Amino acid sequence: MYSPNFYRRCQCTGPLIDKKGNPVLNDDGTPKIGDIGLTCPKLGRKGHGTRYFALELERGENGKRRRPKRGGFPTREKAEEAAEKLYEEVVRGTDVLSTETMADYLRRWINSKKALARTTRHGYQEHIDLYLIPHLGHIKRRDLRVRHLDAMYNAVEHENAERILQRLRVEELTKTRDAAHQAWVRAAGKKEERRRMRRAYLEANAALREGRWGLRKVTSAATMHRINDTLSSAITWGMKREEAFSRNWARLVELPAVTRPKPLVWTPERVDHWSRTGEKPGPVMVWTPEQTGAFLDFVRDDWLYDLWHTFIFLGPRRGEMCALPVQEVNLAALWLRISAQIVEVAYRLYGEAPKAESVRTLNLSDESTEVLGQGRARREKAREEWSSAEAWVASDRFFTHENGEGLHPDWVSRRFKRLVELSGLPPVRLHDLRHISASLSLLQGNDIKVVQERLGHSSRQITSDTYTSVLPELARRETQSMTSVIPRSVPYDVLRQVELPQKLFEDGMIVVHADAVRARDGAWTISVKARHDGRPLGRIKTSAASQERAAQAAIQWVRDRCKEVSLKILSAARVSGHLPESGKRLHRLARFVIDSGEEPGLAGWTPVPVSPSALGVSEQDQGAA
């Protein structure tokens, strides 16, 4: 029953009295001085003391009285509002008498989470040990509010400023140490000068060691969000299980915005900037198909060439490949199955089952099957050689070191980084190969659902937002497809008007095609021929901006000409979709089927089979027509 007791209390001190009104004395007989609280004679004065209230709850175990108290309110109205809120928490089941601190609660929460993945638990524990307990551990769980979280994140930002200054000092000390070392190495002449240079180097090195002491990385905005997510998860658990909190205060915190880094492609301009300055345009970079091919050519003779090939064309995670069992690879049936993974926690390895959506079977292409088979043959040969020396390390892994020992995920990342440096290609991370794999698959026109299942994601949205980059080829194709929707006239100059001799018509029809050559100044020269190696039947020149526009000019020219000489075009289509190189001849830029308009005789109606090769036309062109 809601029946709070309101009273006033102050912080005045004076002689203490017991419940019977007798003075409380010290051992020497003097009056004992302390907080007189409710007995202060000044409480009757206006404005003296603050308001308190007490709620009488149901008795606890053994009939123990349960009476929560709150105080420090300036007016009775404020005390009544607080009493109502406290009673609402009691009705919801919140333990308002608990003296548990946030430190004790967070430890109790993390110990109760039995089903957490090892890496997830490690991340939660780091957040608790490094941030939540140092800043919030002393606060009683029942008193936690948003202001405490704001104070924690303000303190983190202040620590970030100090860490940035320390890193700047370390950079200066490093430069000083390196300069002192160079001076010592280059010192010549008297031994005294070399001793002085060596002493300066040792002093600079000692200063650098001292400056590095306690150096920690800056807590990024993304890390703050992860810390807040950990706290939110802990509060939600307490609210659902025991009504430990009245609200999830972590959801009311405002943190700096986090922008997911967008994958960028290593275009020639970005490569040139990186070559001159050594700066990466972004944290996540993606190779073009040409750069990816150059890397594969460079590592062709590497011991783990089949591993790098698999990363690029199948896009698995490094822990999945390090844990791939031998029995989960079936080269005869052209598949491998992802059923295990290795996780790294503080450089220690643990084998775990992957998430449900990550357990998948990947189909292998003929090239991937051949590459994996060659890699398995190399390892079989190495096993025979190392076994004879009793140095072979037996493991159940498909990818191993030369002595059969399993691969460490961090070692794989470092090995890949070193190979990229040696290749001279612009830098990408090992995990960026998943971006490359997804982008290459989309470049081939595969559906995003297929890419999602191959990468082992739970939804298409994750694949689309995280692992797909817009390659220049995709962007160019999309732009050209938009410009081709709206028909427009393309100006051209006739160098030689097209003439179609009657002898070229078979059964009243002729198939001709347009060849094109693009000069260095961007101008196109287009010729119409009946055969690829035949003489031109006509020629025009146009300054079209793209191959798409040049094809439009060719079609427009032939149509206009056929209209002049009363010929009928049965079909006119573009048959090439590749961008031209300067000075390179492009065959089958456009193809035309033209009818002479004359009625054939009785013999002319007899069908005569003609192979596509006789007309210089491929099956692909037939489909395009």
Cα dist from 612 to 453, 515, 519, 576, 622, whole Å: 40, 18, 31, 17, 8
In sequence order, what are the residues at sequence separation of 6 or more whose Cβ sits closer than 8 angstroms to the Cβ of residue 47?
Answer: none
Residue 181 has pLDDT above 60, yes or no: yes
Cα dist from 489 to 484, 542, 551, 567, whole Å: 12, 12, 11, 21
Question: What's the rounded Cα separation, in Å, for the pair 282 and 305?
Answer: 27
Specify whether the CB–CB gap between 574 and 589 falls below 8 A: yes
Q: Which residue has the higher pLDDT, 288 or 230?
A: 230
Q: Please count the structural domains in the chain.
A: 5
Confidence label for 106 from pLDDT (cuts 50, 70 and 90): very high
Name, of 428-437, 468-477, 589-598, the range with top average pLDDT: 428-437
pLDDT digits (tens, 9 = 90+) for 160-171: 999 999 999 999
Specify whether the CB–CB gap between 151 and 138 falls below 8 A: no
Question: Is residue 617 in some structural domain?
Answer: no
* Other CB atoms within 10 Å distance of the CB of residue 299: 18
Q: Which of 318-322, 436-440, 534-538, 587-591 has the lowest mean pLDDT?
A: 587-591
Q: Which of 247-251, 256-260, 372-376 has the lowest mean pLDDT?
A: 256-260
At 515 the pLDDT is: 87
Specify whether the CB–CB gap between 522 and 583 falls below 8 A: no
Q: Which residue has the higher pLDDT, 84 or 303?
A: 303
Residue from 434, 613, 620, 590 nearest 526 by CA: 590
In sequence order, what are the residues at sequence separation of 6 or more whose Cβ sits closer than 8 angstroms to the Cβ of residue 503?
Answer: none
Name, of 79-83, 96-100, 608-612, the range with top average pLDDT: 79-83
- What is the DSSP track for 313-382? HH---HHHHHT-BGGGEETTTTEEEE--EEEEETTEEEEEPPPGGG-EEEE--HHHHHHHHHHHHHHHHH
Q: Is 71 in the same domain as 155?
A: no
pLDDT digits (tens, 9 = 90+) for 290-323: 899 999 999 999 999 999 999 999 989 888 999 8
Instruction: For residue 591, list its beta bridge partners.
Output: 513, 573
Residue 586 has pLDDT above 70, yes or no: no
Question: Is residue 619 in some structural domain?
Answer: no
Question: Is residue 602 in some structural domain?
Answer: no
- How confident is the model over 108-122, as a mean pLDDT? 88
Residue 612 has pLDDT above 90, yes or no: no
At 24 the pLDDT is: 85
Q: Is 112 in the same domain as 214?
A: yes
At 300 the pLDDT is: 93
Q: Count H helices and E strands in the chain, helices first.
A: 19, 18
Question: What's the rounded Cα separation, in Å, for the pair 419 and 103?
Answer: 46
Cα dist from 25 to 20, 28, 238, 456, whole Å: 14, 8, 47, 77
Structural domain ending residue among the three candidates 465, 486, 507:
486
Q: Is 43 in the same domain as 83?
A: yes
pLDDT digits (tens, 9 = 90+) for 25-63: 888 888 888 888 777 888 878 888 888 888 888 787 777
At 330 the pLDDT is: 93
Residue 611 has pLDDT above 50, yes or no: no
Q: Is 198 in the same domain as 108?
A: yes
Specify whether the CB–CB gap between 145 and 273 falls below 8 A: no
At 203 the pLDDT is: 94
Question: Is residue 625 in some structural domain?
Answer: no
At 472 the pLDDT is: 61
Name, of 99-113, 454-468, 528-542, 577-591, the range with top average pLDDT: 99-113
- Report percent pLDDT > 90 for the chain: 35
Question: At which residue do the structure tokens 């590592």 appear?
Answer: 299
pLDDT digits (tens, 9 = 90+) for 467-483: 555 556 565 555 555 45
CATH number at residue 339: 1.10.443.10
- How confident is the model over 124-149, as a mean pLDDT? 94
Q: Is 434 in the same domain as 363?
A: no
What's the whole-number average pLDDT of the chain? Answer: 83
At 124 the pLDDT is: 94
Question: What's the rounded Cα separation, in Å, for the pair 221 and 212?
Answer: 24
Q: Is 135 in the same domain as 84?
A: no
pLDDT digits (tens, 9 = 90+) for 392-419: 888 889 999 999 898 999 999 999 999 9
Confidence label for 604 from pLDDT (cuts 50, 70 and 90): very low
At 471 the pLDDT is: 59
Q: Is 559 in the same domain as 439?
A: no
Residue 459 has pLDDT above 80, yes or no: no
Q: Is 85 in the same domain as 35?
A: yes
Question: What's the rounded Cα separation, in Å, for the pair 287 and 470?
Answer: 11
pLDDT digits (tens, 9 = 90+) for 364-382: 989 999 999 999 999 999 9
Q: Is 120 in the same domain as 240?
A: yes
In sequence order, what are the residues at sequence separation of 6 or more whose Cβ sits closer than 8 angstroms to the Cβ of residue 289?
Answer: 440, 443, 471, 473
Domain that residue 470 falls in: 261-287+426-486
DSSP state of 592: E
Q: Which residue has the higher pLDDT, 426 or 577?
A: 426
Q: Is 78 in the same domain as 212?
A: no
At 297 the pLDDT is: 94
Question: Is residue 588 in some structural domain?
Answer: yes
Q: Is 481 in the same domain as 494?
A: no
At 261 the pLDDT is: 80
Residue from 618, 561, 571, 617 nearest 594 by CA: 571
At 88 the pLDDT is: 81
- How confident is the model over 4-12, as a mean pLDDT? 86
Question: Is residue 618 in some structural domain?
Answer: no
At 576 the pLDDT is: 55
Question: Is residue 414 in some structural domain?
Answer: no
Question: Is residue 127 in some structural domain?
Answer: yes
Q: Is 266 in the same domain as 331?
A: no
